[in-house]
């Protein structure tokens, strides 16, 4: 592939406009809190956060492509690396590591050791089923869908639930070919 593909998002991160991390964290907290009040069911909140993330992801991908100068990835492994090293850095200021590949190379885990979304968060007993950061899984799913990859993104480990890291499992369901639906000879 083109050698120009950035292997880290540091340079881009340094150039984009940023906001105060606390404002970001607290705003996200306020959104989750409001959703819990409005929807009452924790399951519904998970769903809503995922949907909101999806809506962000389908728009965010273009900014990512425009500003990061990444070119087409050769395979899903490269895609995962680019998300972890460039994508997360660019938009969240942290990097993730990619592990737990299955043999086919279609399923892997993104591990976040640092997650600015949860800086001040403690889950109360009433919200045990809540995936607080579910917006992130939606963002990844939405973004990949726009570059013709159908994925399923789920949380495997969550520090708010007592695990030692955040682990996001990304599973490639199918790659939609980009060719136009030409039906030759029909």
Partner 1 sequence: MAAIYSLYIINKSGGLIFYKDYGIQGRMDTNDSLRLASLWHSMHAISQQLSPIPGCSGIELLEADTFDLHCFQSLTGTKFFVVSEPGTQNMENLLKHIYELYTDYVLKNPFYEMEMPIRCELFDINLAQAIQKDRVSYLGR
Strand, coil or helix: 153 = strand
Residue closer to partner 1 by CB (options 1, 173) is: 1
Which residues of this chain interact with partner 1, rule CB under 8 A? Answer: 58-63, 65-67, 72, 146-147, 178, 180, 182
Residue closer to partner 1 by CB (options 65, 165) is: 65
**Measured distance CA(111)–CA(108) in Å, rounded:** 10
Residue closer to partner 1 by CB (options 109, 141) is: 141
**Least Å from the CB of residue 41 to partner 1:** 26
Residue closer to partner 1 by CB (options 109, 138) is: 138
Among candidates 147, 89, 54, which has minimal Cα distance to 81? 89
**Least Å from the CB of residue 148 to partner 1:** 9
**Least Å from the CB of residue 118 to partner 1:** 25
Token pair for 52: 């909101």
Report the side by side order of strands in the sheet with 149-157.
97-99, 107-112, 166-175, 149-157
Strand, coil or helix: 100 = coil
**Least Å from the CB of residue 146 to partner 1:** 5
Query: Which residues are CB-contacts of 19 (< 8 A; sequence separation ≥ 6)?
Result: none
**Measured distance CA(125)–CA(135) in Å, rounded:** 21
């Amino acid at each position: 592939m083109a050698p120009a593909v950035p292997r880290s998002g540091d340079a881009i991160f340094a150039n984009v406009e940023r906001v105060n991390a606390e404002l970001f964290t607290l705003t996200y907290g306020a959104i989750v809190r409001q959703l819990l009040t409005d929807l009452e069911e924790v399951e519904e909140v998970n769903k809503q956060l995922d949907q909101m993330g999806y809506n962000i992801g389908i728009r965010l991908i273009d900014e990512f492509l425009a500003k990061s100068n990444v070119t087409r990835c050769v395979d899903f492994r490269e895609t995962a690396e680019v998300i972890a090293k460039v994508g997360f850095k660019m938009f969240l200021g942290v990097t993730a590591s990619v592990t737990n590949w299955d043999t086919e190379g279609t399923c892997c885990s993104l591990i976040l050791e640092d997650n600015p979304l949860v800086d001040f968060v403690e889950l109360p007993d009433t919200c045990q089923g809540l995936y607080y950061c579910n917006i992130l899984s939606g963002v990844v799913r939405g973004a990949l869908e726009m570059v013709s990859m159908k994925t399923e993104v789920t949380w495997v480990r969550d520090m708010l639930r007592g695990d030692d890291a955040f682990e996001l499992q990304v599973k490639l369901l199918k790659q939609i070919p980009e060719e136009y639906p030409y039906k030759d000879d029909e």
